[in-house]
Amino acid sequence: MKKIVLTVVFLMVLVGTHFSWSGHEGFTYHLVKNIVPDELVEIREYSYQEKRIYNVSKLVLGDVCGKAILPPWDGALVPPDPTPSNGRVPAWQILTVYSSEPDWGMDQDLSLSPHQVLIGNSQGVRHMKYRLLGLDFFEGDESFYYFHDMAKEAFKRGDRYWGYRFLARALHYIQDLSQPYHNVPGEILEVLKGLFDGTTKRMLANAHFVYDDFLAFLIYSGDEDILKAIEEAEPIFTKNEWELVQVVRGLAMSYFPTVHKEMKRVFEDTLKKREPSEKAFSVVSPEEFRSLYENGSLDSLKFYTVELVGKVSSYLKGYLISFLRSVKNIK
Ligand SMILES: [Zn+2]
């Protein structure tokens, strides 16, 4: 049974390699800016023995603050990214900039499992956690735990720069787990149909990419409701990281049916016809999002997305606050 489902999952993954709940920097900036202390952190060299392998050709280990955040379109409201001064950067900036780091290529083209040949790319293995027919696949949760532990270790060593940077990576993976399409590739009948039917396969891949871009569009357009949902979310604390992962995945999965229905209603032909692409905003452009947004077509999708992101933000704030307390630095 697991083998059959596994084959289905692998075939689904072949549809594309765009795996990010886009807008990580924006999401993180609005999440952390009122929580993290005004701490200036000295940039440190990387000095860790790790249990993870990376695509070293794409792994960035130097500091890129001040040159990392590019607006996805002219006039997009991206977070500030000041140039470091005297070798120091604010804690909020490390968290913001490096929350997108796992999407820069470090998880691509690796040999992570014997089934690697079927997957085509390893990034999805580390950024997603599918549940299909009651079975779980992939390692998004393990990626989160891994960088949570690395962050603890760095803070313990007194290396606050890498402490925040590993924490930013942990935030990336837990944010990925809050994206419905990172947990569920499609309705089960669509997933099965997608094995034989190119249009269905394309529709599911595009639904994932376009929903990623939709959140980025809302955040970088400065939509007041999404920003308020993130910034004003009241912290909720979980007992431990395991419980956090279960709650976040549970929320993402509970929103899947509504979000997926809305995605198909709003974007139906676009999802079926256009070529899936991992490049942000290349399936639905910012201009197209803008015109749908202005004529009210995205209202319902936005309503559910704001609700989901607000709930997730509460748990992420609870997590961050207790993490920062444990390393003794909190406002
Ligand atoms: Zn990702």
The DSSP result for 172-241, as a single string, is HHHHHTTSHHHH--S-HHHHHHTTT-HHHHHHHHHHHHHHHHHHHHHHHTT-HHHHHHHHTPPP---SSH
pLDDT in tens, 275-330: 988 788 999 999 999 999 999 999 999 999 999 999 999 999 999 999 999 997 54
Looking at residue 142, which CATH number applies to its domain? 1.10.575.10
pLDDT at 330: 46
Does residue 150 form part of some domain? yes
pLDDT at 1 over 60: no
Does residue 306 form part of some domain? yes
> How far is it, in rounded angstroms, from Cα 176 to Cα 198?
26
Q: What is the pTM of this model?
A: 0.93
Distance 98 CA to ligand 1 centre (A): 12
Distance 114 CA to ligand 1 centre (A): 22
Distance 173 CA to ligand 1 centre (A): 6
Does residue 282 form part of some domain? yes
Does residue 284 form part of some domain? yes
- In the predicted model, what is the mean pLDDT of residues 30-34? 96
Orientation of helix 299-326 relative to helix 224-231, angle to 10° = 30
Does residue 161 form part of some domain? yes
pLDDT at 72 over 50: yes
Does residue 70 form part of some domain? yes
Does residue 322 form part of some domain? yes
Residues 6+ apart with CB under 8 A from 276: 15, 16, 18, 202, 205, 206, 209, 283
Distance 104 CA to ligand 1 centre (A): 9
The two most distant CA atoms of the chain are separated, in Å, by: 58
Does residue 331 form part of some domain? no
Instruction: Please give the tally of structural domains in the chain.
Output: 1
Distance 86 CA to ligand 1 centre (A): 31
DSSP letter assigned to residue 101: G
Distance 164 CA to ligand 1 centre (A): 18
- In the predicted model, what is the mean pLDDT of residues 8-29? 62
Range of the domain at 233: 2-326
pLDDT at 56: 95
Distance 21 CA to ligand 1 centre (A): 6
Distance 223 CA to ligand 1 centre (A): 23
Distance 254 CA to ligand 1 centre (A): 20
Distance 78 CA to ligand 1 centre (A): 18
The mean predicted confidence, pLDDT, of the chain is 90
pLDDT at 210: 96
Distance 18 CA to ligand 1 centre (A): 8
Q: Environment class of residue 30 by beta-carbon count within 10 Å: exposed (0-12), middle (13-18) or buried (19+)?
A: buried
73 vs 137 pLDDT, higher one: 73
